[in-house]
Amino acid sequence: MFTGGFFLKNLIDFCKDDYFFIIPTMSGHYENSTYVSMADEEKTITEFLKTNGIDKVAVLLGFSLGGNTAFDLFAKNLICVDKVIVDSAPLFDFPAFIQRHFYNKYARCLKKIKNGNVDVAKELNKCFNGMGEAQKNVAPHVTFESLKNLIFGCFGVPTPKLSVAQQSKLVFIYGSKDEARLCHPHIRKYKSATYIKLKGYGHCGLYQKSAWEYLKLLNLI
């Protein structure tokens, strides 16, 4: 949330000779756009793949809200993929009153940013541990309507039953200092998935520190 396709630039620099990248920027994360729902974003992605004759991808990678979307695409069998990497994804399915709590928290942050006279990255870091620098140029464009819908995308995600074969394609990554790691009770039922715990890291921490180390950890280079 509050980032764009540019977040994956460092991956591209290392892997451009080995992979063809398709990097969507979610609606609501650029001027004059609104994030409506995860289903709406998934429809855009699947229609793009169909239009371009792509019936399978090697790796589906998503960070944070993007991880939620990647997981949901895969769990609904909307995309054929060999490996799904879900990094720092808050795979919670909270009741409405908890979602309202997060909306109010993030809305206060967004209001301060839109009003100006604040260190945008520092303000964002209060809500999103270590993500401020990556978010600071996008957050001012996010509307409160988009934020309301983004909250459901972050904190209203079901974790359905998956076959052993499906589970074996999943890789979950969480830093030990990332609050998103607390969703583990919701996903530990996927016993054939791979779980990577990164000691000392926050939200999307290893990737932000070193894309090269991140790729080596995942055997992508």
Q: Is 173 exposed, middle or buried (0-12, 13-18, 19+ CB in 10 A)?
A: buried
CA–CA distances in Å: residue 173 to residues 58, 80, 140, 197: 18, 21, 28, 6
pLDDT for 13: 86
Question: Is residue 174 very low, low, confident or very high in pLDDT (cuts 50, 70, 90)?
Answer: very high
Query: What's the confidence (pLDDT) of residue 106?
Result: 97
Cβ atoms of 25 and 5 closer than 8 Å: yes
pLDDT band of 18, cuts 50, 70, 90: confident
pLDDT digits (tens, 9 = 90+) for 71-83: 999 999 999 999 9
CATH level 3 topology of 5-217: Rossmann fold (3.40.50)
Domain layout of the chain by residue ranges: 5-217
- What distance in Å separates the CA atoms of residue 78 and residue 1, rounded to the nearest whole number? 22
Overall pTM surpassing 0.75 (yes/no): yes
Task: Give per-residue pLDDT as tens, 39-83.
Answer: 999 999 999 999 999 999 999 999 999 999 999 999 999 999 999
